[in-house]
Amino acid sequence: MVGKYKVITLCGSTKFKDDFLREQKRLSLEGNIVISVGLFGHSGDGEVWNDGVKEMLDDMHKRKIDMADEIFVINKGGYVGTSTRSEIEYALSTGKKVVYMEN
């Protein structure tokens, strides 16, 4: 398994923290470098809602997409929110592959 590793950025609502952690572990064990969110605003990290922080984190996440070969969308129950939709559109516009947790 040692060699070239695919880089995958996780995208999705931070209310799905347990799914983020599970998929990060699974994808890592499959031999991928996984980039995730820094904070889970919808799961208790209240700092996200301070002035300017969400905007900064959203911009940082697009830079994480820039570093990735593909994105993996945590779309539990088919849910894709506004921020995630923006990340998917950005990934597609930059030629990244988009993979979904659920069809």
One pLDDT digit (tens) per residue for the chain, 103 residues = 567 999 999 999 989 999 999 999 999 999 999 999 877 777 667 776 778 888 888 898 999 999 999 999 999 999 999 989 999 999 999 999 999 999 8
Domain boundaries, the chain: 7-100
Architecture of domain 7-100: 3-Layer(aba) Sandwich (3.40)
Instruction: Give just the sign of the alpha carbon dihedral 25, 71, 83, 36.
Output: positive
Q: Which among 5, 36, 3, 43 is positioned nearest to 21, based on CA atoms?
A: 36
